[in-house]
């Protein structure tokens, strides 16, 4: 029996360039990123993309009536099925635009949620994405876009016509969210057990972080010999991947590849994916991988630093910047980048694809992990069993004796170990 090719959805990408927004990004760069996001979702054919200048957004339909009619004619002529708006669209605006254009519409948050729904691989990732999706859709409750639902196995869109049906849908969503939270609690407890088991292994954690598509997975694969999905595509990696690996310098570490960051990440996903970024909080060294060839590399780096700050990654955690993709720079650009990097001892210019420059970076990681350790004497009360256990789990205790006032320990630790110990309850 002949198999039919899956239907392709013809999509058009719009970036509203809102002139009244003082923090708006470069419109052309933003449009290119939005098109890359669209390419990351299977089953879409991006037919066209354009910037739409806007003095300010119109509350009822985002665009003015003249622009809506102009775009309607274009979408009809191109036989577009889906419009992707690179920015927030309110439920009222979405409903009015879908009615006027007779197409399905997704805003930036909706598109990213669809990509995450398609990519999540672990049980925890699937549950977190589904909760984020339901929280987002609860405010919208528009009719299902069945094509993408079928293709991805169905997170999709919920809802129905009429106020009574909407209220019923909201109740159903709330009940489903309660069920998902219970399931997620069980999964998180299991992950906590795994983390505690890892803590007993005296290997430090090196976490790779960075803007999506910066080359983290390519670097991870080169260093570990693993086969993590590494493509020139936004959000190629979603769930955190960890491997024990011996670096060429002889240091044994656990290397962690994390979800890529992105500007204007939907608030639903910031909360949902905080747990997957907890590995960064436990890291001994955070490696910030940057695509130094990207025109907006500085803006991307600021987005990453902002997220790291919000996660609570403190100054006691060693951080190294890896300026990746030097193989995509011309001779003059490369020379400029090398001069800039030479001014900061924690910056390294590399190509994860070819391996160029990685030796110096790996030596720096090894040096950061082997920070100077000093001996100190501690006295812990009998009620401080948890803190004492942590010291033993980390292999920091050189000697111990029990006295009337508690445990007397001699520890050999780094400043980072000491700072982490002092944060324990």
User: What are residue 403's phi and psi, to 5 degrees?
Assistant: -120, 180
pLDDT on residue 417: 73
Look at the pTM and tell me if it is higher than 0.75: no
> Mean pLDDT, to the nearest integer, of 7-15?
90
pLDDT band at 169 (very low <50, low <70, confident <90, very high): confident
Q: How many alpha carbons lie under 13 Å from residue 16 in its C-beta half-sphere?
A: 24
Looking at per-residue pLDDT, the higher value among 393 and 249 belongs to: 393
pLDDT band at 425 (very low <50, low <70, confident <90, very high): low
pLDDT digits (tens, 9 = 90+) for 110-124: 888 888 777 766 677
pLDDT digits (tens, 9 = 90+) for 200-240: 555 788 888 888 888 888 888 888 775 544 444 455 444 55
Residue 81 parent element (H or E): none
Q: How many alpha carbons lie under 13 Å from residue 7 in its C-beta half-sphere?
A: 11
Of 39-48, 68-77, 188-197, 346-355, minimum mean pLDDT range: 188-197
> Mean pLDDT, to the nearest integer, of 324-344?
92
pLDDT band at 270 (very low <50, low <70, confident <90, very high): low
Length of the chain: 425
Q: At 211, is the secondary structure helix, strand, or coil?
A: strand
Distances from the Cα of 158 to the Cαs of 154, 161, 167, 172, in angstroms? 10, 11, 12, 10
Looking at per-residue pLDDT, the higher value among 169 and 215 belongs to: 215
Which of 378, 90, 131 is CA-nearest to residue 270? 131
Strand order of the sheet with strand 82-85?
44-54, 9-18, 82-85, 104-107
Which of 128, 125, 122 is CA-nearest to residue 272? 128
Contact 38, 84 (CB under 8 A): yes
Q: What is the Cα 299 distance to its own chain's centre?
A: 16
Task: Using the predicted structure, report yes or no on whether residue 57 has a pLDDT greater than 80.
Answer: yes
pLDDT on residue 276: 60
Cα–Cα distance measured from residue 231 to residue 276, given in angstroms and rounded to the nearest whole number: 21
Q: Could you tell me which residues come within 8 angstroms of residue 108 by beta carbon, excluding any fewer than 6 positions away?
A: 34, 37, 84, 85, 86, 87, 88, 264, 266
Task: Using the predicted structure, report yes or no on whether residue 308 has a pLDDT greater than 90.
Answer: no
> Mean pLDDT, to the nearest integer, of 92-101?
92
Phi-psi region of 184 (alpha: psi -120 to 50; beta: other; left: phi over 0): alpha
Distances from the Cα of 87 to the Cαs of 51, 107, 137, 173, in angstroms? 12, 6, 16, 25
Q: How many alpha carbons lie under 13 Å from residue 278 in its C-beta half-sphere?
A: 10
């Amino acid at each position: 029996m002949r198999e039919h090719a899956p239907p392709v959805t013809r999509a058009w990408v719009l970036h509203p360039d809102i002139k009244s927004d003082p923090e708006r990004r470069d419109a052309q760069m933003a449009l290119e990123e939005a098109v890359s996001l669209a390419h990351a979702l299977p089953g879409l054919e991006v037919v066209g993309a354009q910037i739409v200048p806007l003095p300010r957004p119109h509350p009822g339909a985002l665009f003015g009536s003249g622009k809506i009619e102009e775009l309607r004619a274009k979408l009809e002529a191109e036989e577009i099925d889906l419009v992707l708006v690179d920015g927030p669209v309110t439920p009222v605006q979405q409903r009015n635009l879908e009615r006027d254009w007779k197409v399905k519409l997704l805003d930036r948050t909706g598109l990213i949620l669809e990509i995450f729904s398609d990519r999540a691989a672990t049980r925890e990732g699937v549950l977190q994405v589904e909760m984020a999706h339901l929280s987002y859709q609860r405010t919208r409750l528009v009719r299902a876009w069945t094509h993408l639902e079928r293709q991805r196995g169905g997170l999709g869109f919920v809802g129905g016509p009429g106020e009574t049906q909407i209220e019923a849908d909201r109740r159903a969503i709330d009940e489903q969210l309660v069920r998902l939270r219970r399931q997620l609690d069980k999964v998180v407890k299991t992950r906590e057990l795994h983390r505690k088991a890892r803590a007993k292994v005296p290997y430090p954690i090196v976490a790779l972080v960075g803007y999506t598509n910066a080359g983290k997975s390519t670097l991870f694969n080169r260093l570990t010999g693993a086969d993590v999905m590494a493509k020139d595509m936004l959000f190629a990696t979603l769930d955190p991947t960890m491997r024990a690996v011996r670096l060429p310098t002889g240091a044994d570490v656990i290397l962690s590849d994390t979800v890529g960051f992105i500007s204007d990440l939907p608030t639903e996903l910031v909360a949902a994916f905080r747990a997957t970024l907890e590995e960064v909080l436990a890291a001994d060294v955070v490696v910030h991988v940057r695509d130094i060839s990207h025109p907006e590399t500085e803006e991307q780096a600021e987005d990453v630093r902002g997220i790291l700050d919000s996660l609570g990654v403190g100054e006691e955690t060693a951080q190294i910047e890896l300026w990746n993709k030097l193989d995509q720079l011309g001779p003059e650009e490369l020379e400029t980048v090398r001069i800039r990097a030479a001014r900061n001892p924690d910056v390294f210019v590399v190509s994860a694809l070819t391996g160029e420059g990685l030796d110096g970076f790996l030596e720096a990681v090894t040096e950061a992990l082997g920070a100077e350790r000093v001996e100190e004497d501690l006295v812990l009360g009998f009620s401080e069993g948890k803190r004492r256990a942590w010291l033993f789990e980390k292999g920091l205790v050189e000697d111990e004796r029990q006295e009337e006032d508690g445990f007397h320990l001699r520890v050999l630790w780094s400043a980072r170990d000491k700072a982490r110990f002092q944060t324990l309850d």
